[in-house]
Structure 1
Amino acid sequence: MAGRIKEEDIALVRERARIDDVVGSYVTLKNAGGGSLKGLCPFHDEKSPSFNVTPARGFFYCFGCQEGGDVIDFIQKIDQITFHEAVETLASKVGIQLRYEESGAPIQRGPANQRPRLVEAHKVAAEFYVDQLFGAADASLGRQFLDKRGFDRDAAVQFGVGFAPRGGDALIGHLRGRGFTNTELVSSGLAAENQRGLYDRFRGRLMWPIRDASSDVIGFGARRLFDDDKIEAKYLNTPETPIYKKSKVLYGVDLARREIAKGRQAVVVEGYTDVMACHLAGVQTAVATCGTAFGDDHARVLRQLLLDHDQFRGEVIFTFDGDEAGQRAALKAFAGDQAFASQTYVAVEPDGLDPCDLRLQKGDAAVRELIGRRVPLYRFVLGNVLGKYDLDRADTRIDALREAARLVVSIRDKSKVDAFTRELAGQLGMEVDQVRPEVHRAASRPAPQPQANGRPPVTVSTEAPPAPPRADVPSPRDQRFVIEWDVLKVAMQHPALVGVAFDELDDHDFTHPWLVAIRAAMAKAGGPSAAAPGEAWVVAVREAVGNDPAAAVVGALAVDPLRLGREPDEQYALALLARLQELTCARRIADLKSKLQRTNPIDKADDYNRMFGELIALEAYRADLRKKAITGAI
């Protein structure tokens, strides 16, 4: 084992490894005056920057968590390695060949001390894969894959795309020839081991090198090409290793880092080819996660690059597919929205194309326009929530309001709640005064218990709305159903009074499912106009209901006294029917007004004018029904 590193070499590492360059590969630093730089601390979460770097003195210090030191201390803390290992890591970056003391206590090398060797192994592997892509005969399928997606040789070289040979030990042999040990090959994740020995982890796949912010290759993403590939997963990524942690890695961050800091914008896409397409199209702030969902650690990386705090807000733009999986990803992203001070957006192509396919079919400008058409993440999620409901129905519109109200009150900037309440009212086709009380109720409900990260979770459902619970037996005292109940009581107890007029009613005139079932059963039994006298009519309706739960209320309708106080007559019965139809008409009017509010009178002039004419006719019909209802004094 090697002895201690010579002191003069340690001093040379401190001199050559500029602290602003090293720290700047992890954190965006801004001029703070007086020769100091400032950024968000990488060692603790903070909303305002308190992490300072002074290049002239080669020192950093955080006033928030009191972490500080020189460039070697920074690498020690950020990579959680020993002093000896940090010196070796920095030496490899700045090209210093370290010398070791022959005397003195030897330095124990732990797993983390492998970093320089593992990074070097990945560098050699990346070069090997690139050579294979353009030189190996069996790599033709990989070249075709890139060509079909609009990526030429220059694009492949720019992003370091390569090809892993189909044989089981081609890379192993190459790395062994460069002096790497079996232990290093397995630790790097480039090789795996079974009972027969080592074998290449990646075989017959198109390879994307995954680099950290300092441009070191630390892993690979591998795309399946051959149908006989024994590993069925379309993408295979490097496993967790001492240098590769998928929850903290963003593909393309090495290329996008400076543009993210400069433009205060980060675009999060879903795949390697999407990153390539975006960068080639001019969206040079694009990054992607590597085989895992966007999480808190990814957000932390972006915040440090964006210098994300309240005084310097940027943009984080997510691109999602328009399918169900993309909608779930958007909801998950919104749940983590509180991690950012920056405004979060979503960019979704209406045709459902991802950036790669969009560039291929419509060109570079279309990709730039996709990002330019971004909409706030809140609005996208709201549209997703409302899209689960039939807004043409009054009952489901109320359900949509209740879920959307929880979304409104969960937004980060509480000063926007009233504006979003008005926006929600417009999308629902309701008056603001109808929406605002539900938003206030949602805000007054007890807040969910915070997660481990200290932020309350966003309780936005990612599933379809649950089926409403089965209602209780309708009561004549329940104002929601009292007219419907009274109509069916008259039809059950005095069928001759309603006669053929009852036949004009349909399911839309009743709002409770059990009452809908009983009206249908009466029609099935021949209708009140053909009802047999006495108990026979009740029995006929009961049999027509069958096993439906509504059978439980047939007897109640038959015996419940009318609230009239006298024997009913035909005038009363017809007035009751008119009142029921008036309520139905009122619901239709409300629905139509809602549709009108949601219809653009310019873009859809024909539809708007047709609905407006229908609204006028319905208002006149409602007035006529009201007159009939009043004459019966019900």
Structure 2
Amino acid sequence: MRRLPDVAGRINDADVAEVRDRARIDEIVGSYLQLRNAGGGSKKGLCPFHDEKTPSFQVTPAKGLFYCFGCGEGGDVITFVQKVDNLSFAEAVQRLADKVGVQLRYTDSGGPSVAPGLRMRLLEAHQAAAEFFAQQLTSPDALVARQFLDQRGFDREAAERFGVGYAPRGGRELADHLRARGFSHSELVTGGLVRERGWDFFQGRLLWPIRDSATSVLGFGARRLHDDDRMPAKYVNTPETPLYKKSQVLYGLDLARTAIGKKSQAVIVEGYTDVMACHLAGVDTAIASCGTAFGNDHAKLLRRLMGDHDAFNGEVIFTFDGDAAGQAAAMKVFSGDANFISQTYVAVEPSGLDPCDLRLQQGEAEVRELVARRVPLYRFVMGNVIAGFDLDRVEGRVQALRAAAPLVASIRDKSMVSGYVRELANWLVLDVDEVRTEVMRAASRGSAPAAPPDRPVQVDEPVAPQPSALPDPHDRDLVVERETLKLALHTPDGFDPQWYGLTTDDFAHPAYRAVFNSLQAAASAGEIGPDWTDRVRGQLPDERLDQLVVQLVVEPLTTNREPDAAFTRAYAAKLQLIRLTGEIGDMKSKLQRTNPVTDTGAYNQMFSVLLGLESRRARLKQLAVGDV
């Protein structure tokens, strides 16, 4: 047992052992992140100690241990609480002891700086306060509170479901009630329930209990009801206490935790009544930050709860007002978007109604529809950015492009970049190639998104991506390119420089393009034989590309059928279809910007080209069939 530097005494070894025995590691870890069965009595989830897309964090309840095969963190339940909450050993033991009801003893004189069991006492006091406030909601004094709820469409059953309560106006009712239950003045002040001079912290307000994911009450959010309220703020929350840290709590988390884990979705709304409205309407993943903007700690908490879903399958959906404040909030969230593994979206009601008012005026179905109509955060922010420019003038469109290009360049899911390039080109009525070039410039500069209109982004020469930048093997947008190259390396018989009409232009990623060039060069150098892989590697222009070729050779093909000539031809056609579809989209965009009356010749020529592209696409679709 190690000596604790931050307390005068030393926790009794037997008490530490009892804490370890009583605190089930799967229950403690499960209150921080989503765990799923991994077989053999073990459970797995996304590691809270490093960024990862697939779960490598494993818990073995029978042994009381955890270990992450990704970052190497491991230990027992005390170690986990230490690391995840940034606590000392003594603090972690104390927190767990409070949770499982162990009274700690100290073998040396002095004892701890904080009274043993304080956290448990504060939790008990808050639970008693929540029950007291809920009872007071039915009192005559709380008529205005009940009217407030009724006007927003919440009946008694809804109030009970969410634990809504009322703080009496007298100012000392809660303090008297809790002291009668055996709580000391010091405990109530430390917990933020009572002020130093004995007055209740909340007076004459409607209250919502704020709980952690384990349903323990940590604090309260309070809404002003009376004009003579001495606290002018409409909403007031519990002050910072040993239990309540506003940057680390989310209202509704106790209700939404299970649904968030199952659906890998979280809907972030702006207020307590919005959370209530969403849950009553069937949006059971709704939560809200409490008295502060949604921040990095909130994002980390959601990442743990959303579990081991694929990185781009999860959804974090923000609801913002359509006004300037809502747009500013969206920009703030966008600046921290890298904190999310999941995709971020925005749901904005065109009429400007928040979920509570939307449910009241248009019904619960419209609340569900609001979430269903979500748009990617990038698109929402990009639309707001370019709206600040005069798009009727060429100069305005160019300035809007320079301001929006960094947004597109910063998109984490690179498979979406090409689509956003075309969408931005349509919005600005600019050539797709021009937009793509500006996005590449922004990416090479690492520009900050959304430069203001009075500070146009300076244009530098574009820097093309280097072939040595290896592609993500799990990039969905590049899977056909990767499988095509694997086919050529695994089954080289019949490969030639004109292999089924493929060209380097069919490969979007520079590294895959370089490998295909090397394949063509190796095939042109002589007959294909047993040294095929070595010959291809010998043609590579960069040493790092050798790693890629080795990966492609070692990786098994994703098909179970024999990759014969028909299969390979179908795969090649599928790859060509991807590029051809993009070319058709670009041509349609150009046609949209061309006036068929004033520029008939150019319009007819482009239309003729489009017909040829569509004809070629039809032929490729016929080839691209089969189990590919």
TM-score by length of 2: 0.68
| CA deviations over 1:563-617 (Å, ceiling 9, x no partner) | xxxxxxxxxxxxxxxxxxxxxxxxxxxxxx999949xxxxxxxxxxxx97xx847
- Which deviates the most, 286-295 or 5-14? 5-14
Correspondence 1:157 to 2:148: no
| CA deviations over 1:327-365 (Å, ceiling 9, x no partner) | 111111112111222111111111111111111111111
- Checking the alignment, whether the CA contact within 8 Å between 1:85 and 1:112 is kept in structure 2 is no
CA 1:429–1:103: 2 relative to 1, 3 Å: closer
Shift of 1:6: 7.7
Correspondence 1:190 to 2:178: no
Shift of 1:151: 0.7
| CA deviations over 1:64-92 (Å, ceiling 9, x no partner) | 45443333443344445565655554455
Whole-Å separation in 1 of the counterparts to 2:173 and 2:367: 38
SS of match in other structure, 1:215 = coil
Match of 2:68 among 62, 69, 76: 62
Shift of 1:308: 5.8
Give the structure 1 partner of residue 363 of structure 2: 363
Correspondence 1:116 to 2:106: no
Whole-Å separation in 2 of the counterparts to 1:128 and 1:4: 38
- Checking the alignment, whether the CA contact within 8 Å between 1:4 and 1:100 is kept in structure 2 is no
Correspondence 1:177 to 2:180: yes
Shift of 1:60: 1.4
Give the structure 1 partner of residue 318 of structure 2: 318
Gaps of 5+ in 2: 1-6, 458-587, 602-628
| CA deviations over 1:483-510 (Å, ceiling 9, x no partner) | xxxxxxxxxxxxxxxxxxxxxxxxxxxx
Give the structure 2 partner of residue 460 of structure 1: 450
Give the structure 2 partner of residue 74 of structure 1: 80
Q: Taking every aligned residue pair, what percent have the same amino acid on both sides?
A: 63
SS of match in other structure, 1:284 = coil
Give the structure 2 partner of residue 129 of structure 1: 133
Give the structure 1 partner of residue 534 of structure 2: none
- Checking the alignment, whether the CA contact within 8 Å between 1:206 and 1:225 is kept in structure 2 is yes
Amino acid at match of 1:171: L
CA 1:595–1:186: 2 relative to 1, 3 Å: farther
Match of 2:44 among 15, 35, 38: 38
Correspondence 1:142 to 2:145: yes
SS of match in other structure, 1:390 = coil
| CA deviations over 1:246-296 (Å, ceiling 9, x no partner) | 111111111111111111111111111111111111111111111111111
Give the structure 2 partner of residue 288 of structure 1: 288
Where does 1:212-361 land on structure 2 (aligned, <5 Å)? 212-307=212-307, 310=310, 313-361=313-361
Shift of 1:405: 1.2
Whole-Å separation in 1 of the counterparts to 2:185 and 2:52: 42
Amino acid at match of 1:124: A
SS of match in other structure, 2:344 = strand
CA 1:321–1:203: 2 relative to 1, 3 Å: same
Whole-Å separation in 2 of the counterparts to 1:413 and 1:21: 34
Give the structure 1 partner of residue 503 of structure 2: none
Where does 1:594-633 land on structure 2 (aligned, <5 Å)? 597=592, 616=597
Amino acid at match of 1:460: A
Whole-Å separation in 1 of the counterparts to 2:49 and 2:241: 21
| CA deviations over 1:609-631 (Å, ceiling 9, x no partner) | xx97xx847999xxxxxxxxxxx
| CA deviations over 1:390-411 (Å, ceiling 9, x no partner) | 2222221111111111211111
Whole-Å separation in 1 of the counterparts to 2:105 and 2:219: 33
- Checking the alignment, whether the CA contact within 8 Å between 2:251 and 2:288 is kept in structure 1 is yes
Shift of 1:435: 2.2
Amino acid at match of 2:449: T
Whole-Å separation in 2 of the counterparts to 1:82 and 1:617: 76
Shift of 1:319: 0.8
- Checking the alignment, whether the CA contact within 8 Å between 2:32 and 2:304 is kept in structure 1 is yes
SS of match in other structure, 1:392 = coil
Amino acid at match of 1:121: A
- Checking the alignment, whether the CA contact within 8 Å between 1:294 and 1:333 is kept in structure 2 is yes
Whole-Å separation in 2 of the counterparts to 1:597 and 1:408: 22
Shift of 1:312: 7.0
- Checking the alignment, whether the CA contact within 8 Å between 1:313 and 1:341 is kept in structure 2 is no
Structure with max Cα Rg: 1
Give the structure 2 partner of residue 573 of structure 1: none
Amino acid at match of 1:152: D
SS of match in other structure, 1:442 = helix
CA 1:286–1:131: 2 relative to 1, 3 Å: same
Gaps of 5+ in 1: 449-457, 470-592, 599-610, 621-634
Shift of 1:167: 1.8
SS of match in other structure, 1:221 = strand
Whole-Å separation in 2 of the counterparts to 1:103 and 1:339: 44
Match of 1:27 among 29, 33, 40: 33
- Checking the alignment, whether the CA contact within 8 Å between 1:161 and 1:207 is kept in structure 2 is yes
| CA deviations over 1:426-477 (Å, ceiling 9, x no partner) | 11122213323322332232x26xxxxxxxxx4334x6x22889xxxxxxxx
Whole-Å separation in 2 of the counterparts to 1:79 and 1:176: 31
Whole-Å separation in 1 of the counterparts to 2:107 and 2:345: 59
CA 1:324–1:596: 2 relative to 1, 3 Å: farther
Amino acid at match of 2:121: R
Amino acid at match of 1:69: G
CA 1:363–1:112: 2 relative to 1, 3 Å: farther
Give the structure 2 partner of residue 50 of structure 1: 56
- Checking the alignment, whether the CA contact within 8 Å between 2:103 and 2:116 is kept in structure 1 is no
Shift of 1:381: 1.0
TM-score by length of 1: 0.67
Whole-Å separation in 1 of the counterparts to 2:430 and 2:104: 77
CA 1:435–1:120: 2 relative to 1, 3 Å: same
- Checking the alignment, whether the CA contact within 8 Å between 2:264 and 2:309 is kept in structure 1 is no
Whole-Å separation in 1 of the counterparts to 2:188 and 2:306: 35
- Checking the alignment, whether the CA contact within 8 Å between 2:98 and 2:117 is kept in structure 1 is no
- Checking the alignment, whether the CA contact within 8 Å between 1:208 and 1:220 is kept in structure 2 is yes
